Amino acid sequence: MLVADISGFTGVVLYLASYALLQNGRLRQDSATYSWLNLLAASLVLISLANEFNLASAVIQLSWILISLCGLHRVGKVARKHCQQSRGNDRHSRADKLNQGRVIDHKRSLQPVQHEISFSEEERENIQTYHGVLLSDQLDPAAAYSKPQVVAFIDLGEPDLQRISGQHRQRVSLAKPPITQAPAGYLRSSWSRLSDRIDNLPPFWTAFALTLTETVAAGTLALPIAFATVGPLAGVALLVVLGLLNLLTVTYLAEASARNESVRHGNAFVGQMVAEFLGPSAALVMRLALFSYCCIILASYYTGFASTLSAATGLPAPLWVVVICGFGLVLVACKSMAGTLATALIVGSINILVIVLLSVLALSHGSLDKLLSTGITSASDGGFEVSNLQLVFGVVLVSYFGHLSVSNCAHTVLRRDPDGRSLKRGTAAAMLVAILIYCFWTISIGSAIDSDRLHVETGTALVPLAEQLGPEVFYLGIVFAVLGLGMSSIHYSLGIFNLTRELMSNVVKTCERPTWWQDHAATTVSMVPILTVFGYVQWTMYNGTASFTAPLELLGALVVPVLAGIFPVLLLIASRANGLPAPGAKVPAVLSSSFILALIVLLSFAGILTHAVLIWQQPMHKLAAYMVIAILLWMMAGLFRRDVFVRA
């Protein structure tokens, strides 16, 4: 009761403070600070409604949250656009100086002593009239003064600059004025500096960070629930074995990416690489697999996001599904979901930090008896059944699926390290770290929570963990739900939207410039799969069958073996036959021999077939598995018939 009261009063204070600052002219209504204050205030008031729920007040607070998020997105979009324009102007100006012979070499610019030169307003205006100078006020003041130095290149051929003609090609450092920018401007400049540092990471760390943050995602919350039938130690053994197999396939994909000319020299990703190496039939199978992956995992993330926030705030779970789906549809309709490397790494790093903190908290309350348990009571008393593995393999394979990040970062990494060694080593190191994180997480949660309690949980592992450790867990859980589940669900919504539009463009021939109503009709039709997933999740919540882990199990058993097992092997073989040379990215022969490659393909097929014959009892699941096997056999027969794996 006390926490809810404090949260509500704090939210009211923030509401009043933001409005007072706006009326006094201290804040602008289009500033990021104003949107952040309203977002935080609405969130705190919404949390305070957990004890005494009021629908009208909840709708108002949710509306304020959505409006504030839209405002923050608009401010960020404007800031990124301005920053890109400034960088483009900066690069263009420097290129012009280099062509005219007026730009000094960077290595030589570090040697001379810097000179402080002060200019009057008239002299400054005269300097700006010449083409050989780059001054700080041509840039955004906040961005310019956030840099250690502002460099001005002086054209010594102009008569009005004879007073400094004796200083040949010197580097001028203008005096830095005192910072008088608003907090929002300071935050933007700080974010710009942080983005620059992240974008300029060494190639190894770029590949490592992107692969790790995209691998250790929301699927982590399903691992303890999946291992409830076999016990934590057996789960750790499976994590190590399957993790090492995924380590091999992710390095295969890294080598294939390094051998592909479109990935290396252009902006192509895994879809274009599959089309070039394996042909249009394989590209169609890949496109269908990705579409299925996005739809199934979106249903799981909707359920996990809603169940976690419902348990934390007391608001009904269907309402949270409406919130996250509505926000995703708004961003998709605006076509404004362009992300950056810095955003992806920061969000992923926060998610990993939350997982580590929760693991430490759980381990401090763990017991050896729970850690040594062999699973749920029914499994230990009645004997082990193959059907008890229904969740295990699927959830583990989904948790390790970060292979798409390899093609996403390959262009950036290969541009800095054309040899491909950094791409291969960075992705392999990331998968090893993911194995360690998953093992630590499984041991910690398995030693703190009974297997019987985990087995009956339909949401994420955060709910039983909060019951065991206290409601404080939900504070970290909300962070992970918003960043891990919420942001991921929005990005998967965008993936469904783009894949649907791409499929429509292939099936229906459209003109180069569609009319207004054609474009909006295509946008509306592309949202139908997202709305279908939304309706399915709401229906399962209505009849009480909603589950966070069940879609992941289906996804890991049917789709991930195709995307993370079969396709990396086929791409590796085809790239070695018809791709570019990449000695640094080449996987050692002992790890990529014909026996190992054939074994991975056979294990992928065997996993799908085992689920269809032994593990699954539902007829629809069995039928889906047989269809996947038939499609894969058809695809591979076509590849061998066209001699794709024979050197051209």
Do 404 and 317 share a structural domain? yes
Residues in the chain: 648
C-alpha to C-alpha distance for 74 and 29, rounded to whole angstroms: 12
Instruction: Identify whether residues 169 and 219 lie together within a single domain.
Output: no
HEC secondary structure over 532-574: HHHHHHHHHHHHCCCCCHHHHHHHHHHCHHHHHHHHHHHHHHH
Identify the burial level of 522 via C-beta atoms within 10 angstroms of its C-beta, where 0-12 means exposed, 13-18 middle and 19 or more buried: middle
Cβ atoms of residues 232 and 373 within 8 Å? yes
Joined together, the tokens standing for residue 474 give: 């939900």
Single out the residue of 399, 122, 403, 366 nearest to residue 250, CA to CA.
Answer: 403
Could you tell me if 240 and 127 lie in one domain? no
**3-class secondary structure, 617:** coil
The position carrying tokens 């008031």 is 45
Residue 487 within any structural domain of the chain: yes
Distance CA 344, CA 223 (A): 23
Residues 385 and 534 in one domain: yes
Copy the structure tokens of residue 402.
Answer: 């970060």
Shared domain check, 481 and 430: yes
How far is it, in rounded angstroms, from Cα 595 to Cα 593? 5
Does residue 295 lie in a domain region? yes
Contact 283, 275 (CB under 8 A): yes
The residues with which 151 forms a beta bridge, in sequence order, are 173
Residue 169 DSSP one-character state: T
Instruction: Say whether both 311 and 256 belong to one domain.
Output: yes
**Residue 43 burial by CB count (10 A; 0-12/13-18/19+): exposed, middle or buried?**
buried
Which one, of 121, 130, 174, lies nearest residue 152 by Cα?
174
Q: Could you tell me if 457 and 221 are in contact, meaning their C-beta atoms sit under 8 angstroms apart?
A: no
- Cβ atoms within 10 Å of 7's Cβ, excluding its own: 18
Domain shared by 434 and 505, yes or no: yes
- The verdict on residue 363 lying in a domain is yes
Residue 315 CB contacts under 8 Å (≥ 6 apart), including other chains? 46, 49, 50, 53, 58, 309
Quick check: is 389 in a domain? Answer: yes
Residue pLDDT, tens place only, 262-311: 888 766 667 788 988 999 889 889 988 988 998 999 999 999 888 888 88
Task: Look up residue 316 and give its amino acid.
Answer: P
Does residue 357 contact residue 476 with C-beta atoms inside 8 Å? Answer: yes
Element spanning 152, H or E: strand 151-152
At residue 130, the pLDDT reads 35
* CB-CB contact of 451 with 468 (8 Å): no
Residue 386's pLDDT is 59
Q: Which domain holds residue 378?
A: 201-641
Q: How far apart are the first and last CA of the chain?
A: 73
Give every residue of the chain whose pLDDT is below 50, as ranges. 1, 98, 101-119, 121-180, 337, 378-384, 510-511
Same domain, 131 and 10: no
* pLDDT at position 155: 36
Closest CA to 341 of 206, 219, 251: 206
Alpha-carbon distance 24 to 34, whole Å? 13
| Same structural domain, 328 and 434 | yes
Q: State the Cα–Cα distance between residues 367 and 46, nearest whole angstrom.
A: 36
* Interatomic CA distance for residues 514 and 53, integer angstroms: 48
Alpha helices in 386-508 (DSSP H): 392-399, 404-416, 421-448, 451-455, 462-469, 473-480, 487-507
Show the tokens assigned to 270: 């895994």
Half-sphere exposure (Cβ direction) of 89: Cα atoms closer than 13 Å: 15
Check whether residue 57 and residue 132 sit in a common domain: no
CATH number for 303: 1.20.1740.10
- Three-state secondary-structure class, residue 173: strand
Q: What is the pLDDT of residues 346-386, one digit of tens each?
A: 778 888 888 888 888 888 888 888 888 877 664 444 444 55
- Is 142 domain-assigned? yes
Number of domains the chain is built from = 3
Q: What is the bridge-based pairing of β-strands 172-173 and 151-152?
A: antiparallel
Look at residue 105 and tell me if it is in a domain.
yes
